[in-house]
């Protein structure tokens, strides 16, 4: 069988993605030869699939082509072109010619097969035979190429059809082990080699006619040959790092599983893990041959090892799902205590080869619930209906109910046996995420707990269950709407500080979306905040608020989702209650929702906290200054606020700090606009409405039912200028400079200064406008854009509390939003 030096065997299997092109063949050959030269005590069996895509092309030929149309078909063209390129790239000219001659000779054989009558005795199933030529071509090519690279020609081609035989059986692809072992022993005794390149997928029927082992049958082939060689190990080389804890395309936090038992791996494979075919295990378990799953494209990684050993370090190994399922529930009083009812049900399904994926039966035997592929629902229903026709007519079976569009979610692990709380944690996680469970099942082995859920909940269920069992860090998904001056600065601050915050609070913070008025970016992984400007400018996706929020929250429970609204848009702020009701958190500097309709404000306040979600809006009043939180703390601890007075506008603070009568007031406003101290239209500041909104918010927080339409507000914009074009406003505003000059001089004559302030007294009377203050008053001695708020209460009566500092600007406003994010993390983590 092998040289004296090499006694044992390793079996390597390479799938189609590992053999897709020239570079892949070179990479695979390096893996084989590196192992061959390093492991000097091992011979190597190399099982190969067809080159990537070839099997599909061959099946299409068997279905669509005739003998006359074969050589003009697009499929023939694609195969012949690709295989010619591979051969010419890898082989010497004479070797390539000989190899390609054999390939085109095979096409002549395919032509002859296509000429045969459908399923004739001499031909068998045409599709089965034709589909297997891809493995012949890849195995021959790899064998010739390896011998080209080897110092001595030690590699041999092994056509598995000569040694692998299937029994005549009702069960598909049953190996005739006795005949296969005899044929195998004869072949390797007569043609010994230290490397065999073996065709995967294909075999021979009991009568010698070619067949195959079905889709993904190359894994099964590799396992069969590992058993025949009595190998030390089977390594399946593929395009992933190994078996993951969940589907990485749906669960971004899926992690590599380093060790699995055979039973765990079989459960995961049956329930949808696509790395291994379920049939792979049966030939290996008796001989305890371990399987390794490794990445052809990153061979240094150790991958996943599957063996008889049980890893005691983790109860749950993987979470997986079967989709497109349906539930059939059969119930009736006639089933109570009647033996044979289940047998009758399953026998009726067996007649149509319908496999049941899950069974749940009430202990009273009043009902049996089964899960089957949805595509077989009608057939199954008719079979059951026929089988129990007498019972249905007599009323013993009262109902056969079908529920469609379902998925089976399963958690798998050997160490669940005897462990308290695993099932409770599983179903509690689904319950907290608002996911209904339609049926459950757990075998006595306790290796698998399954839940039937609605298909629409599959992604969320996978992610939430995975987080519950695998994530050591909770995740906060964040979506930011409005990326202008403040929103952009927030993204810059997040870019520089997120890692520090995550490490400090042991949390994962992921920016899942950003949006402006006409575009948005939605990401599966966390957004790269360092490049947000380029990303949003290149986005062609129109902004859709509902799609945005759904995306940000869809892979996790809403309690892990934060929407940050950095706009001043009233339509967006109107959605806060809806978001809070569904469990999302909200942080915003947008004043509209908190200063507008009083009932809407109260609803937001009621929902925040009580719904399990939080709404923070500290930056609505004085950017990053702790005004709202201070007022809330006073009220929460039993204090009573009597009056609030202050300068609430950084813009108006700047204007009256700078205005000293030497320049016209309109010129001060114009220069402030040019320096970015005002809104694009200065009237938005001069009307006093922004100040009114801020006072309404802080007053409401103090327990006052304030409404802006009752406020006495001094508007610094003359009425006749309110509706003129914004470009004309400043020119026309010059005509009113004398009025402001006169007020300034009157104040100065009395050693007073002008300040635009807002006042709320104990009787809920509000005045907002220009007031005069002594030169030594705190309001008269602020920095350029400072806000200053004075609060008089029971506790702060004779010496009122004063909060002062920058009350405007993107840096301090963004910092205030960031502070709210940290507060949310502290509360929810």
Q: Which residues are part of the catalytic machinery?
A: 694
Nearest to 232 by CA among 387, 44, 448: 44
**Measured distance CA(202)–CA(138) in Å, rounded:** 13
The secondary structure element, H or E, covering residue 515 is strand 508-516
The secondary structure element, H or E, covering residue 306 is strand 304-307
Q: Is the dihedral of CA 596, 599, 601, 604 positive or negative?
A: negative
Q: Would strands 304-307 and 202-204 be described as parallel, antiparallel, or unpaired?
A: unpaired
**Measured distance CA(434)–CA(582) in Å, rounded:** 10
With beta carbons less than 8 A apart as the criterion, state whether 354 and 419 touch: no
The secondary structure element, H or E, covering residue 403 is strand 399-412
- Other Cβ atoms less than 10 A from the Cβ of 610: the count is 9
Could you tell me the CA-to-CA distances from 99 to 155, 519, 823 in Å, in that order?
A: 16, 55, 69
Helix, strand, coil percentages (3-state) for the chain, rounded to 5, are 45, 20, 35
Which tokens in the block code for residue 559? 């309690």
Which tokens in the block code for residue 205? 């029927």
Could you tell me the CA-to-CA distances from 230 to 34, 42, 45, 233, 763 in Å, in that order?
A: 22, 12, 11, 9, 93
Q: Which phi and psi (to 5°) does residue 10 adopt? A: -115, 135
Q: At what angle do helices 177-190 and 217-228 cross, to 10 degrees?
A: 70
With beta carbons less than 8 A apart as the criterion, state whether 131 and 58 touch: yes
Q: Which phi and psi (to 5°) does residue 598 adopt? A: -65, -40
Q: What angle do CA 144, 12, 253 make, to 5 degrees?
A: 130
Q: Which phi and psi (to 5°) does residue 92 adopt? A: -65, 160
In sequence order, what E strands does 766-822 have?
766-774, 786-793, 801-806
Q: Which phi and psi (to 5°) does residue 439 adopt? A: -160, 155
Nearest to 586 by CA among 598, 567, 595: 567
Burial 560-573 (b: 16+ CB within 10 A, else e): bbbbbbbbbbeebb
**Measured distance CA(508)–CA(471) in Å, rounded:** 10
**Measured distance CA(582)–CA(185) in Å, rounded:** 67
Q: Which residues contact residue 788 at a Cβ distance below 8 angstroms, ignoring those fewer than 6 apart?
A: 646, 647, 778, 779, 782, 802, 803, 804
The secondary structure element, H or E, covering residue 359 is strand 358-361
With beta carbons less than 8 A apart as the criterion, state whether 819 and 624 touch: yes
The distance of Cα 139 from the centroid of its chain, to the nearest Å, equals: 38
Nearest to 11 by CA among 302, 280, 311: 280
The stretches of 229-277 forming alpha helices (DSSP H) are: 262-270
With beta carbons less than 8 A apart as the criterion, state whether 14 and 48 touch: yes
Q: Which residue has the tokens 């200063």?
A: 595
**Measured distance CA(689)–CA(391) in Å, rounded:** 76
**Measured distance CA(259)–CA(311) in Å, rounded:** 7
Q: Provide the 8-state DSSP code for 689.
A: H
The stretches of 650-709 forming alpha helices (DSSP H) are: 650-658, 665-674, 683-686, 689-701
**Measured distance CA(451)–CA(430) in Å, rounded:** 10
């Amino acid at each position: 069988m092998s040289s004296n030096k090499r006694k044992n065997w390793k079996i390597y299997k390479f799938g189609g993605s590992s053999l897709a092109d020239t570079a892949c063949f070179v990479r695979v050959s390096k893996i084989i030869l590196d192992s061959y030269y390093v492991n000097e005590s091992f011979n190597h069996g190399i099982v190969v699939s067809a080159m990537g895509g070839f099997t599909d092309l061959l099946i299409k030929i068997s279905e669509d082509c005739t003998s006359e149309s074969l050589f003009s078909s697009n499929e023939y063209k694609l195969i012949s072109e690709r295989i010619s390129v591979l051969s010419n790239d890898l082989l010497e000219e004479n070797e390539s010619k000989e190899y390609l001659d054999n390939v085109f000779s095979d096409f002549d054989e395919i032509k002859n097969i296509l000429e045969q009558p459908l399923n004739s005795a001499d031909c068998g199933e045409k599709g089965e035979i034709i589909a297997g030529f891809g493995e012949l071509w890849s195995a021959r090519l790899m064998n010739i190429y390896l011998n080209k690279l080897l110092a001595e020609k030690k590699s041999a081609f092994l056509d598995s059809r000569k040694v692998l035989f299937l029994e005549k059986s009702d069960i598909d692809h049953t190996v005739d082990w006795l005949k296969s072992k005899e044929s195998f022993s004869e072949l390797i005794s007569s043609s010994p080699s230290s490397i065999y390149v073996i065709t995967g997928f294909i075999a021979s029927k009991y009568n010698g006619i070619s067949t195959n082992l079905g889709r993904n049958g190359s894994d099964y082939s590799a396992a069969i040959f590992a058993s025949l060689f009595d190998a030390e190990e089977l390594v399946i080389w593929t395009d992933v790092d190994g078996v993951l804890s969940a589907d990485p395309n749906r669960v971004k936090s899926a992690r590599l599983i380093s060790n699995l038992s055979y039973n765990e791996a079989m459960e995961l494979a049956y329930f949808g893990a696509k790395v291994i075919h379920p049939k792979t295990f049966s030939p290996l378990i008796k001989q305890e041959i371990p399987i390794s799953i490794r990445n052809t494209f990153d061979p240094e990684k150790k991958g996943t090892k599957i063996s008889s050993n049980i890893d005691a370090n983790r109860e749950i190994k993987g979470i997986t799902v079967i989709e497109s399922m349906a539930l059939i529930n059969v119930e009736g009083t006639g089933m109570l205590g009647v033996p044979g009812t289940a047998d009758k049900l399953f026998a009726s399904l067996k007649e149509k080869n319908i496999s049941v994926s899950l069974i749940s039966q009430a202990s009273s035997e009043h009902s049996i619930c089964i899960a089957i592929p949805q595509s077989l629902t009608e057939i199954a229903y008719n079979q059951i209906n026929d089988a129990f026709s007498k019972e249905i007519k007599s009323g013993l079976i009262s109902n056969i109910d079908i529920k469609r569009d379902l998925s089976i979610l399963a958690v798998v692990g050997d160490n669940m046996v005897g462990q308290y709380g695993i099932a409770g944690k599983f179903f509690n996680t689904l319950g907290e995420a608002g996911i209904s469970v339609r049926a459950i099942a757990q075998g006595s082995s306790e290796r698998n707990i399954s839940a039937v859920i609605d298909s629409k909940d599959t992604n969320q269920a996978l992610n939430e269950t995975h987080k519950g069992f695998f994530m050591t860090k909770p995740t906060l998904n964040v979506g930011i709407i409005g990326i202008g001056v403040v929103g952009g600065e927030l993204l810059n601050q997040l870019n520089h500080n997120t890692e520090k915050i995550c490490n400090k609070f042991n949390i994962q913070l992921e920016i899942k979306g950003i949006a402006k008025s006409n575009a948005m970016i939605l990401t599966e992984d966390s957004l790269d905040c360092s490049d947000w400007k380029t990303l949003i400018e290149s986005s062609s996706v129109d902004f859709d608020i509902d799609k945005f929020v759904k995306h940000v929250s869809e892979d996790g429970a809403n309690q892990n989702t934060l929407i940050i609204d950095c706009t001043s848009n009233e339509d967006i702020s109107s959605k806060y209650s809806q978001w809070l009701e569904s469990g999302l958190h909200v942080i915003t500097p947008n004043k509209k929702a908190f200063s507008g309709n009083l009932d809407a404000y109260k609803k937001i306040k009621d929902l925040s906290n009580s719904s399990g979600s939080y709404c923070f809006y500290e930056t609505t009043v004085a950017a990053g200054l702790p005004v709202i939180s201070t007022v809330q703390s006073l009220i929460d601890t039993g204090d009573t606020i009597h009056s609030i007075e202050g300068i609430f506008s950084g813009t108006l603070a700047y204007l009256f700090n700078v205005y000293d009568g030497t320049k016209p007031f309109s010129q001060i406003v114009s220069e402030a606009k040019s320096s970015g101290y005002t809104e694009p239209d200065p009237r938005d500041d001069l009307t006093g409405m922004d100040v009114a909104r801020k006072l309404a918010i802080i007053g409401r927080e103090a327990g006052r039912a304030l409404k802006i339409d009752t406020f006495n507000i001094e508007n610094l914009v003359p009425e006749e200028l309110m509706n003129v074009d914004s470009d004309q406003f400043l020119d026309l505003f010059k005509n009113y400079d004398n009025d402001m000059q006169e007020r300034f001089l009157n104040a100065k004559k009395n050693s007073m200064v002008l300040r635009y302030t807002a006042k709320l007294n104990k009787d809920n009377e509000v005045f907002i406008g220009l007031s005069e203050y002594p030169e030594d008053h705190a309001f008269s001695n602020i920095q350029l854009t400072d806000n200053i708020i004075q609060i008089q209460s029971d506790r702060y009566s004779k010496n009122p509390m004063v909060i002062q500092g920058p009350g405007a600007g993107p840096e301090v406003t963004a910092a205030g939003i960031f502070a709210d994010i940290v507060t949310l993390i502290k509360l929810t983590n």
